[in-house]
C-alpha cells in the first residue's frame, strides 16, 4: 500500500532502531489511534514483528512505520518525530488533521 504521506523523521527512525536492537526485534514502529485520551483520540506506539497485509508502510533509514487502515484515515499526512526536551523524551505526532490537541501531545480531536 502507499504511504498516504506519512513520514517517519530520521530522529524517530534512529530511536526505533535503537529500541528494536536492544529488544532483539525488527525495526518496525506501529502507530495506531484509539478512542480515549483527553481530546477524544489517542496515539499508541509499539514495535511490530511484521506489517499486516492491509497496513500502510513507509520507511526511513531502514526503519518502517506501519499504520492500520482505520487509523490511517486519522493520521494521513502526519510526521512522526522523536523529541527530547526538559520534560523528557517521546515520540510526537505532528498531525495536520487535528483540530485540537492537549498539553501532553498524546491525544487529539478532529
> pLDDT, tens digit, for every residue of 62-105?
999 999 999 998 898 999 999 988 878 888 888 887 776 655 55
pTM comes to 0.83
**Structural domain boundaries, residue 38:** 7-109
Task: Please give the share of the chain, as a percent, with pLDDT higher than 70.
Answer: 83
pLDDT for the residue 100: 63
Residue 80, in any domain of the structure = yes
Domain count within the chain: 1
CA 29 to chain centroid, in Å, comes to 7
> Does an H or E element contain 16, and which?
helix 10-23
What CATH number does the domain containing 62 carry? 2.60.300.12
Residue 73, in any domain of the structure = yes
pLDDT tier for residue 17 given thresholds of 50, 70 and 90: very high
Residue 1, in any domain of the structure = no
pLDDT tier for residue 1 given thresholds of 50, 70 and 90: very low
Angstrom distances, CA of residue 18 to CA of 3, 35, 58, 108:
23, 29, 18, 28
Task: Please give the share of the chain, as a percent, with pLDDT higher than 90.
Answer: 55
pLDDT greater than 50 at residue 34: yes
Amino acid at each position: 500500500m502507499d504511504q498516504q504521506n506519512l513520514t517517519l523523521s530520521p530522529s524517530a527512525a534512529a530511536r526505533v532502531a535503537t529500541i528494536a536492537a536492544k529488544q532483539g526485534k525488527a525495526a518496525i514502529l506501529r502507530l495506531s489511534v484509539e478512542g480515549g485520551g483527553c481530546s477524544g483520540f489517542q496515539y499508541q506506539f509499539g514495535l511490530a514483528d511484521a506489517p499486516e497485509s492491509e497496513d500502510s508502510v513507509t520507511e526511513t533509514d531502514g526503519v518502517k512505520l506501519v499504520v492500520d487502515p482505520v487509523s490511517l484515515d486519522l493520521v494521513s499526512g502526519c510526521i512522526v518525530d522523536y523529541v527530547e526536551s526538559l520534560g523528557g523524551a517521546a515520540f510526537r505526532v505532528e498531525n495536520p488533521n487535528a483540530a485540537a490537541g492537549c498539553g501532553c501531545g498524546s491525544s487529539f480531536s478532529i
